[in-house]
Structure 1
């Protein structure tokens, strides 16, 4: 379990440092959370005060300045915000919500987030009854356009509900459009869903999803890197997407333009070695242009939950084989189907002519014609045979019908 002073320091740093700041991540790795915060609050502290630290397994830039190599403007910003941080107040605020603050080293910490390296979250503020680490082990991200089409909303809802019914956790960003449809699909199936916010977990955003985010907090999990009371910015939405990608075993994109935050999530997933999937749309739709670009690369085309699980699930969890409807002709014995193919589309044809066209013996041909007659494919008139006047699926196809 993480030491109390480490937890307090990380809580303070979530207010001092913007999410995904790799410069801060490097110093956090070098000094530890307590040492990093001390150096932010006391400018006189050098790299290693009062002791010889021994060899550094991850050396940073040399010099007497503890943050040598990081821009002065960036460090000054960290220091101003660190001076105002009150981690105990923030921890009390999330506790009053029934939430918690999870940091690396806790049993609930999802270790796949460590794949982000120095861009790893400092900690995660969480609302909801479930264990994030357990849920993340079997989770899929479903993301896409905010201004989605009815087709996109339908696909997000049905795909998410299908994943939930198969025991998978649906992760998204609680935004309008595809995100909201995915969350609702999982909730409607009485399944598990996680909303990763670009703000404090006590600050529902967008406001129009206040009720939805409340339902997710009660039935699933609401997660954020920023402390209580923090509001979103455009940059924080983009940075939030790397957490969605790292937390899950794969990302599905449903409708995204060429410039889209959803594509940022998908490309983050690709860099992390996660599965990247896309649901195709109309080629004339600009909302699907980004998805189609992904599909031309390394992304995999999927159309339903079974195909997603085939990629991200365990060995043997294969999607059912795809085929069109079974027509009566599909059920014919191959020899009978061959004779049916040999019967011309128009007029009466003698048995010998049919046999010659099929390359079969006349007696065998006659036996197959009577079999086809009993099934309604052909009829006899005198010594000739022809296709039935009422076309079946088989004969209709032979005549070029639809």
Structure 2
């Protein structure tokens, strides 16, 4: 792999101030001309209009839009931005760097120009084994509990929990991973030096120290409504799968899930009460291609390697379940009320009288039946769960 040169890094850093995240027009220009040449075209006197307009999909760019690009390009100061991220102990990661997560290339023209990263772990390595946990900001206590449980459970299994650091489900997922001493990545809709929401200052600080903060926007940039939506594609692309915990029909979390589906990633949902509006979006997802999950083990079974299976789900084992088939038939031959003699039990059970009598004495020792004179009846109290096992049947 050819190392990214200084000019390329400076040009890409500058372009993160020119184009909004996910601007596919800018992405097509970048692929056609390269970062250095594109920046030169945008800052040249005539803005290289003819060359730029020759790229498919760019013909609709008007003079006003192109003028906006030119103003931003002229004001960009990449050396200052790179110095700012370095002062935070971070870095600017470009396509071609060894730390660049190659799965972001699946976004094609909407691929990030570069990523501003704060934190010491390697983003590419972490992204190879990561899961997104997203959901409603105004979540219920149930949603917060499930998100935190998923976060801690995934972290304990060696998976990186990726989310957006928002209130509600995002914050609970990050906290769950941190509480387990695990790894977590927050993809921000602002610069990595901007704390948003302000109420998550302590949480975002913990993520910066223990995990990674990632942003497409350079230091100092603030979030906007559209930037929140657009950063969701990065969350989806960085991870092996996306789990949605509580979401209404119109939800940014569902945008993440649908993007994950388009990219061929696993899409999962945690079910909730059918009467809750916060469950509606998740249930709609589950009616489509989404997989139902209830804990971290089920998530890992989908996104993990072959053999990483969730434990089998079974109901409680009853004492009757441990009996052999003949003993079960004899027990079921007894009436619900009252008693029956041995020959009646044998007839109902389809066994010989001696076989039925032997089984009845065995069931009596295990606490399943009681004897009343010559008759047998069901015990007034159910046998304990380990009775049949202790009896050796």
User: Structures share a fold, TM > 0.5?
Assistant: yes
- 1:144 pairs, out of 135, 150, 156, with 135
CA distance change for structure 1 residues 163 and 65 in 2, over 3 Å: closer, same or farther?
closer
Q: Does structure 1 residue 183 correspond to structure 2 residue 185?
A: no
Number of the residue aligned with 2:7: 5
Q: Does structure 1 residue 238 correspond to structure 2 residue 240?
A: no
Q: For 1:338-353, what aligned pairs fall within 5 Å after superposition?
A: 338-353=329-344
Aligned-partner Cα distance in 2 for 1:314–1:98: 34
Contact 1:152 1:254 (C-alpha < 8 Å) held by counterparts = yes
Q: Does structure 1 residue 24 correspond to structure 2 residue 60?
A: no
- CA offsets 1:286-341 (integer angstroms, 9 cap, x no match): 00100000000000000000000000000011101000111212222222122111
RMSD: 1.8
Number of the residue aligned with 1:126: 117
Contact 1:47 1:64 (C-alpha < 8 Å) held by counterparts = no
Aligned-partner Cα distance in 1 for 2:343–2:56: 100
Q: Does structure 1 residue 277 correspond to structure 2 residue 268?
A: yes
The DSSP-based 3-state class of the residue aligned with 1:268 is helix
CA distance change for structure 1 residues 265 and 69 in 2, over 3 Å: closer, same or farther?
same
Number of the residue aligned with 1:397: none
Contact 2:29 2:55 (C-alpha < 8 Å) held by counterparts = no
Q: For 1:3-402, what aligned pairs fall within 5 Å after superposition?
A: 3-44=5-46, 46=48, 63=54, 68-392=59-383
The DSSP-based 3-state class of the residue aligned with 1:253 is strand
Per-residue deviation at 1:358? 1.4
Per-residue deviation at 1:393? 7.2
Contact 2:25 2:58 (C-alpha < 8 Å) held by counterparts = no
The DSSP-based 3-state class of the residue aligned with 1:199 is coil
The DSSP-based 3-state class of the residue aligned with 2:34 is helix
The DSSP-based 3-state class of the residue aligned with 1:181 is helix
Per-residue deviation at 1:48? 9.1
Per-residue deviation at 1:351? 1.2
Per-residue deviation at 1:47? 7.3
Structure 1: runs of 5 or more not aligned:
50-60, 395-402
Contact 2:367 2:382 (C-alpha < 8 Å) held by counterparts = no
Aligned-partner Cα distance in 2 for 1:384–1:274: 65
Per-residue deviation at 1:74? 2.6
Aligned-partner Cα distance in 1 for 2:360–2:56: 95
Instruction: Give the length in aligned residue pairs.
Output: 383
Contact 1:241 1:261 (C-alpha < 8 Å) held by counterparts = yes
Per-residue deviation at 1:76? 1.9
The DSSP-based 3-state class of the residue aligned with 1:16 is coil
Structure 2: runs of 5 or more not aligned:
386-393
The DSSP-based 3-state class of the residue aligned with 2:264 is coil
- CA offsets 1:251-277 (integer angstroms, 9 cap, x no match): 000000000000000000000000000
Aligned-partner Cα distance in 2 for 1:43–1:256: 49
Aligned-partner Cα distance in 1 for 2:311–2:193: 42
- CA offsets 1:215-267 (integer angstroms, 9 cap, x no match): 00000000000000000000000000000000000000000000000000000
Aligned-partner Cα distance in 2 for 1:44–1:76: 10
Aligned-partner Cα distance in 2 for 1:146–1:219: 23
The DSSP-based 3-state class of the residue aligned with 2:16 is helix
Aligned-partner Cα distance in 2 for 1:237–1:120: 16
CA distance change for structure 1 residues 273 and 64 in 2, over 3 Å: closer, same or farther?
closer
The normalised TM-score by structure 2 is 0.94
Contact 2:42 2:48 (C-alpha < 8 Å) held by counterparts = no
Contact 2:92 2:117 (C-alpha < 8 Å) held by counterparts = yes
CA distance change for structure 1 residues 64 and 269 in 2, over 3 Å: closer, same or farther?
closer
Aligned-partner Cα distance in 2 for 1:356–1:341: 12
Aligned-partner Cα distance in 2 for 1:111–1:47: 31
- CA offsets 1:8-28 (integer angstroms, 9 cap, x no match): 000000011000000110000
Number of the residue aligned with 2:390: none
Number of the residue aligned with 1:56: none
The DSSP-based 3-state class of the residue aligned with 1:232 is coil
Per-residue deviation at 1:77? 1.7
